[in-house]
């Protein structure tokens, strides 16, 4: 199946169905823009769900939303258990699996966001590459890998392009019936790499 054939109509994501759909989508959208605490997320959701609400009602509404998303069986705990978000030092972040889910439901939003953050992503990726030690690794089969020679190649990679490829390949895999709610992020990304490598091998023939 080609990328053009992998449209949203034949992809079903469990978190985007039922009564919790609006909350789940709003949480992923909010965290795509910026990580935040549960209260910051609740305040953002209040503005997103009820943008025209009077000022005196906003705090009360945000408290109700906070209760819904923060409780033990709330939206944040559910999305975390399914691998769409994670919490670090009290702040919630979108995972790559969460980004994949959002890209299925809101492709234009994600495409625009990635383009807008292209320079930021490139800076972060370059810092990550620079932090790799200049040493030679010896693999179990005796193969030596000189990291200092690989780093210049890595610095030339566009991380935004990598993310786009991951999103495109994930969409194709999901269109074949993989349930995003059930599969782990690691297993999905392994499948993405296998498919990408297989397609690359076919195209090189």
Q: Where are the domains of the chain?
A: 14-117+160-203
Q: What is the mean pLDDT of each run of 10 residues along the chain (205 residues)?
A: 53 92 95 95 89 81 93 94 96 96 95 90 82 76 78 85 91 93 94 82 56
**pLDDT for residue 147:** 80
Q: Which of 20, 26, 14, 98 is nearest to 62 (CA)?
A: 26
Tokens of 18: 């039922």
**Whether the Cβ atoms of residue 94 and residue 84 lie closer than 8 Å to each other:** yes
Is the whole-model pTM more than 0.85? no
**pLDDT for residue 1:** 44
**Whether the Cβ atoms of residue 28 and residue 102 lie closer than 8 Å to each other:** yes
For residue 169, give every residue at least 6 positions away whose Cβ sits within 8 Å of its Cβ, in sequence order, or none: 192, 195, 196
**pLDDT for residue 74:** 94
Q: Give the SS3 label for residue 43.
A: helix
Q: Which of 106, 86, 102 is nearest to 94 (CA)?
A: 86
Tokens of 191: 């499948």
Tokens of 79: 């999305």
Task: Report the C-alpha gap between 162 and 128 in whole angstroms.
Answer: 15
Task: Report the C-alpha gap between 84 and 57 in whole angstroms.
Answer: 30
pLDDT tens-digit map of 172-189: 999 999 999 999 999 999
Task: Report the C-alpha gap between 22 and 192 in whole angstroms.
Answer: 28
């Amino acid at each position: 199946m080609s990328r053009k054939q992998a449209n949203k109509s034949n992809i079903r994501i469990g978190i985007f169905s039922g009564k919790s759909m609006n909350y789940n989508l709003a949480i992923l959208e909010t965290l795509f823009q910026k990580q935040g605490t549960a209260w910051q997320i609740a305040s953002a959701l209040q503005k997103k769900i009820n943008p025209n609400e009077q000022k005196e009602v906003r705090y009360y509404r945000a408290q109700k939303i906070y209760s819904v998303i923060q409780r033990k069986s709330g939206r944040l705990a559910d999305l975390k258990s399914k691998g769409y978000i994670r919490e670090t030092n009290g702040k919630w972040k979108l995972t790559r699996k969460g980004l994949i889910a959002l890209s299925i439901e809101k492709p234009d939003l994600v495409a625009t966001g990635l383009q807008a953050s292209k320079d930021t992503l490139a800076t972060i990726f370059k810092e990550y590459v620079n932090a790799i030690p200049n040493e030679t690794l010896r693999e179990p089969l005796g193969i030596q890998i000189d990291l200092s020679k690989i780093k210049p190649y890595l610095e030339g990679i566009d991380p935004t392009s990598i993310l786009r490829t991951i999103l495109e390949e994930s969409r194709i895999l999901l269109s074949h019936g993989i349930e995003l709610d059930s599969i782990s992020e690691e297993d999905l990304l392994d499948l993405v790499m296998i498919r990408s490598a297989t397609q690359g091998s076919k195209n090189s023939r």
